[in-house]
């Protein structure tokens, strides 16, 4: 078979885009559960390090710099999960993977506070990243693609509000657990929440909306159409092998462009407090400003989803990349209060857009049946590019004259991202015929 993607018939593009979030009760329950899943995944993998590292260092007499250094290679667990968990989702479905990854994350995160050595931290944090990505960014995202093949932008917009809120709320929650329960039990308190979600997912989540008596995107279907759609989705096998997908230029354009977006986002967010301190703000004020920016970003998560639904994910990503370019330049020249807050508002509104749009474009290009296989290739590509952000930032700060040179380089990367997504062919590859025919009949 040729490596070039087979596109859907023109007729499948005829139904008008519906920008309403009319997901139905079961659809909203999936959005809500995934919002909580990604809130926890972002918290245990990224945001929690703000307090986990200094707490473990003080409690066990470890060097905080060494812990932070080893957190970077341990984070490769999330990159590996992008491929490994996607393969198991392809074989057994998203639900069982979410349950297993939640349970394993609960154990690994609880033990982080119990085994106080550097090797134990590296091994356990690797597991936290592997299984956290497994339930939050692979299995959970696969559910969204299954339930909302045409409205994934809107669903992801609402869902990524949870990820945005994690920036502001997970660290205070973990700090409160440490204060109330002590360090070791504080870690297990988070594990208890992960364990509770195992029960929620087991009882209330279905791999496909048809299994719950609902329909994809909550579009009206007859009982016969629902049955045909379910059978088509359950029996569908992607016609593309991993090698064939790797030969598609759009896979590489999306993977590299998505990784480039996260280079800019991670580099800016990781230095937002030090950057403001370099401008003369106290640490407390800088942290407060960052929290305010995070809360501003909550409605921004939905806004990027709405734009992606209205414009297409590809066009949304081009606009999003250009938005980051302007935000970085504005922060570069934030020599007064107005320019600082202009840049902070732009940055805050960008928090949720990255996960939303970079996932939605994969679901656009590789609908429903092929999504998990393509995502299992593109997500690790994205992760490998993303983890270079700290090295790129450090090189720019060291060799390009501090923040001026580093942020100029980030603006250049944002411009490259615009070009990469402009080169992507927006036409989707073939999807399960049963769903497509049922949707056309419904319209």
Q: Output the pLDDT for position 30.
A: 94
Determine the average pLDDT of the residues in 414-431: 89
Alpha helices (H) in 333-432, listed in sequence order: 337-350, 353-365, 371-386, 389-399, 403-422
Burial of 61 (0-12, 13-18, 19+ CB in 10 A): exposed
Could you tell me the pLDDT band of residue 42, with boundaries at 50, 70 and 90? Answer: confident
Q: Output the pLDDT for position 17.
A: 53
Determine the average pLDDT of the residues in 156-162: 82
pLDDT for 346-383, tens place per residue?
A: 998 988 788 889 988 998 888 767 888 888 899 889 98
Percent over 70 (pLDDT), the chain: 92
Q: Output the pLDDT for position 238.
A: 72
Could you tell me the pLDDT band of residue 167, with boundaries at 50, 70 and 90? Answer: low
Q: Output the pLDDT for position 321.
A: 96
At residue 1, does pLDDT exceed 80?
Answer: no
**Paired tokens of 295:** 């809360």
Determine the average pLDDT of the residues in 319-341: 92
Best-predicted range by mean pLDDT (6-10, 199-203, 219-223, 240-244): 199-203
At residue 14, does pLDDT exceed 50?
Answer: no
Determine the average pLDDT of the residues in 131-145: 91
Read off the pTM: 0.80
**Paired tokens of 116:** 């106080």
> Can you tell me the distance from the alpha carbon of 401 to that of 355, in angstroms, rounded to the nearest whole number?
31
Could you tell me the pLDDT band of residue 21, with boundaries at 50, 70 and 90? Answer: confident
Is pLDDT larger for residue 369 or for residue 124?
124
Which of 131-140, 270-279, 392-401 has the least mean pLDDT? 270-279
**Paired tokens of 430:** 């073939």
Mean pLDDT of the chain: 85
> Can you tell me the distance from the alpha carbon of 377 to that of 402, in angstroms, rounded to the nearest whole number?
35
Q: Output the pLDDT for position 430.
A: 66
pLDDT for 279-317, tens place per residue?
A: 888 878 887 888 788 788 788 888 898 888 888 899 999
Sorted by sequence, the CB contacts under 8 Å of residue 54 that are 6+ apart come out as 64
pLDDT for 239-270, tens place per residue?
A: 788 888 899 999 999 999 999 999 998 888 77
> Can you tell me the distance from the alpha carbon of 278 to that of 263, in angstroms, rounded to the nearest whole number?
21
At residue 5, does pLDDT exceed 50?
Answer: no
Burial of 20 (0-12, 13-18, 19+ CB in 10 A): exposed
pLDDT for 64-88, tens place per residue?
A: 878 877 887 888 898 899 889 988 9
pLDDT for 196-218, tens place per residue?
A: 999 999 999 999 998 988 888 88
Alpha-carbon torsion angle 56, 384, 374, 411, nearest 10:
110
Q: Output the pLDDT for position 278.
A: 84
Could you tell me the pLDDT band of residue 182, with boundaries at 50, 70 and 90? Answer: very high
Which of 2-16, 30-44, 178-192, 402-416 has the least mean pLDDT? 2-16
Q: Output the pLDDT for position 411.
A: 94
Determine the average pLDDT of the residues in 414-425: 96
């Amino acid at each position: 078979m040729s490596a070039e993607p087979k596109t859907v018939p023109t007729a499948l593009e005829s139904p008008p885009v519906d920008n309403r979030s009319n997901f139905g009760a079961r659809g909203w329950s999936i959005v809500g559960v995934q919002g909580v899943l990604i809130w926890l995944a972002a918290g245990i993998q990224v945001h929690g390090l703000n307090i986990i590292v200094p707490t473990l260092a003080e409690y066990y007499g470890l060097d905080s710099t060494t812990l932070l250094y080893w957190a970077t290679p341990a984070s490769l667990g999330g990159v590996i999960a992008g491929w490994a968990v996607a393969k198991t989702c392809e074989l057994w479905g998203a639900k069982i993977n979410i349950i297993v990854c939640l349970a394993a994350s609960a154990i690994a995160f609880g033990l982080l506070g119990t085994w106080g050595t550097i090797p134990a931290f590296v091994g356990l944090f690797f597991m936290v990243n592997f299984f956290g990505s497994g339930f939050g960014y692979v299995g959970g995202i696969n559910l969204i693609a299954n339930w909302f093949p045409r409205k994934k932008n809107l669903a992801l917009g609402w869902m990524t509000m949870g990820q945005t809120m994690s920036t502001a709320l997970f660290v205070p929650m973990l700090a409160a657990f440490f204060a109330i329960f002590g360090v070791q039990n504080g870690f297990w308190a988070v594990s208890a929440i992960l364990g509770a979600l195992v029960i929620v997912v087991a009882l209330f989540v279905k791999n496909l909306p048809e299994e719950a008596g609902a329909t994809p995107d909550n579009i009206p279907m007859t009982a016969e159409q629902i049955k045909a759609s379910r059978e088509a989705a359950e029996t569908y096998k992607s016609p593309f092998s991993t090698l064939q997908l790797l030969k598609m230029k759009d896979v590489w354009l999306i993977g590299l462009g998505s990784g480039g977006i996260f280079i800019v986002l991670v580099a800016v967010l990781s230095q937002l407090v030090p950057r403001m301190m370099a401008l003369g703000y106290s640490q407390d004020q800088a942290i407060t400003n960052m929290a305010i920016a995070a809360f501003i970003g909550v409605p921004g998560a939905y806004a990027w989803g709405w734009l992606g639904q209205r414009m297409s994910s590809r066009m949304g990503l081009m606009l999003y990349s250009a938005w980051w370019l302007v935000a970085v330049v504005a922060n570069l020249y934030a020599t007064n209060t107005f320019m600082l807050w202009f840049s902070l508002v732009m940055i805050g509104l960008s928090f949720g857009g990255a996960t939303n749009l970079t996932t939605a474009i994969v679901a656009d290009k590789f609908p429903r049946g092929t999504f998990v296989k393509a995502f299992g290739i593109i997500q690790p590509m994205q992760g490998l590019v993303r983890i270079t952000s700290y090295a790129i930032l450090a090189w720019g700060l060291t060799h390009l004259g501090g923040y001026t040179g580093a942020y100029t380089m980030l603006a250049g990367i944002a411009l490259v991202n615009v070009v990469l997504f402009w080169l992507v062919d927006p036409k989707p590859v073939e999807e399960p015929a049963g769903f497509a025919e049922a949707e056309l009949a419904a319209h």
